[in-house]
Amino acid sequence: LQLDFWLTPRGLGDPVDIHVPFRSLQPVKAHLEANGVFYSIMIEDVQTLIDDEQTEMLRSNRGLTFSTDTFNYASYHTLDEINSFMDALVAENPNLVSKIEIGRSTEKRPLYVLKFSKGGTNRPAIWIDTGIHSREWVTQASGVWFAKKIVLDHENDEGLSSILDKMDIFLEIVTNPDGFAFTHTTNRLWRKTRSKHSGSICVGVDPNRNWDAGFGGSGASGNPCSETYHGPYANSEPEVKSIVDFVKNHGNIKAFISIHSYSQLLLYPYGYTSTPAPDQKELGKDMWHDLSEKAVAALSSLYGTQYKYGSIITTIYKASGSTVDWTYDQGIKYSFTFELRDTGRYGFLLPATQVIPTAEETWLALKVIMEHTRDNPY
User: Mind telling me the catalytic residues?
Assistant: 339
Instruction: Give yes or no for residue 145 binding other proteins (CB under 8 A).
Output: no
Binding residues among 55-84 for other proteins as defined by CB under 8 A: 75-76
Identify the CA nearest to 173 among candidates 137, 212, 211, 216: 137
Closest contact distance (angstroms) between CB of 345 and other proteins is: 7
Among 347, 357, 372, 376, binds other proteins (CB under 8 A): 347
- Continuous segment of H or E residues that includes residue 289: helix 287-303
Give the C-alpha separation, 278 to 138, whole Å. 33
Could you give the angle at the alpha carbon of 32 between the alpha carbons of 30 and 37, nearest 5°? 150
Which one among 10, 201, 284, 377 touches other proteins, defined by CB under 8 A? 201
359 binds other proteins (CB under 8 A): no
Rounded least distance, CB 337 to other proteins, Å: 15
Q: Does 183 bind other proteins (CB under 8 A)?
A: yes
Contact with other proteins (CB under 8 A): which of 97, 203, 213, 255? 203
Binders of other proteins: how many residues, by CB under 8 A?
41
**CA–CA distances in Å: residue 34 to residues 9, 13, 39:** 19, 19, 12
Residue ranges with strand state E in 221-372: 253-261, 265-268, 281-282, 285-286, 308-311, 334-340
Q: Does residue 211 bind other proteins (CB under 8 A)?
A: no
Classify 5 as helix, strand or coil. Answer: strand
- Nearer to other proteins by C-beta: 176 or 373? 176
Nearer to other proteins (CB atom), residue 75 or residue 98: 75
Let me know: does 361 contact 302? Beta carbons within 8 Å.
Answer: yes
CB count within 10 Å of CB 32 equals 13
Q: Which of 19, 29, 31, 188 binds other proteins (CB under 8 A)?
A: 188
Assign 70 to helix, strand or coil.
coil
If one asks whether residue 303 binds other proteins (CB under 8 A), the answer comes out as: no
Contact with other proteins (CB under 8 A): which of 109, 149, 191, 254? 191
Footprint on this chain of other proteins (rule: CB under 8 A): 75-76, 137, 183-184, 186-192, 200-204, 206, 221, 223-229, 316-319, 344-354
